[in-house]
Amino acid sequence: MDVKLLSQTKDKVTFRISRTDYVFVNTLRRLIMEEVPTLVIEDVNFIENSSALYDEMIALRLGLLPLKTDLKSYVLPEKAKNESDPRAFLNLKLKTKGPCTVFASDLQSQDPKIGSVYKEMIIVKLLKDQKLEFEATAILGKGKRHMKFSPALVYYHNVSIVNIKNKDADEFKNKYPSAIFDKNGKIDAKLINSQQLIDACKNINPDIIEVKEKEDEFDFIIESWGQLSHKAILEEAFDILAEKIKEFDKLVDKIR
Query: Which domains can be identified in the chain, with CATH numbers?
Result: 2-35+152-222 (3.30.1360.10), 38-149 (2.170.120.12)
Q: Nearest-CA neighbor of 71 among 128, 131, 139?
A: 139
Give the pTM. 0.85
pLDDT of residue 53 exceeding 90, the answer is yes
Q: Nearest-CA neighbor of 64 among 118, 9, 102?
A: 118
pLDDT score of 169: 62
pLDDT score of 143: 96
pLDDT score of 178: 82
Q: What is the pLDDT of residues 65-79, one digit of tens each?
A: 999 999 999 999 999
pLDDT score of 162: 84
For the ranges 117-126, 138-147, 170-179, the lowest mean pLDDT is seen at: 170-179
Distance CA 76, CA 89 (A): 9
pLDDT of residue 172 exceeding 80, the answer is no
SS3 content of the chain, % helix, strand, coil (to 5): 30, 35, 35
pLDDT of residue 146 exceeding 80, the answer is yes
Question: Any idea what DSSP says for residue 148?
Answer: G
Mean pLDDT of the chain: 91
Q: What is the pLDDT of residues 1-19, one digit of tens each?
A: 899 999 999 999 999 999 9
pLDDT score of 103: 97
Amino acid at 1: M
Q: What is the pLDDT of residues 205-237, one digit of tens each?
A: 777 888 888 899 999 999 999 999 999 999 999
Q: What is the pLDDT of residues 16-37, one digit of tens each?
A: 999 999 999 999 999 999 999 9
Distance CA 73, CA 88 (A): 9
CA quadruple 151, 157, 159, 161: dihedral sign: negative
Region 28-57: what's the mean pLDDT? 97
Distance CA 198, CA 106 (A): 45
**pLDDT > 90 in the chain, percent:** 69
pLDDT score of 171: 66
For the ranges 94-98, 161-165, 240-244, the lowest mean pLDDT is seen at: 161-165
What are the residues whose beta carbons fall under 8 Å from the beta carbon of 19, sequence distance 6 or more? 1, 2, 216, 217
Cis peptide before 99 (omega within 30 of 0): yes
pLDDT score of 170: 66
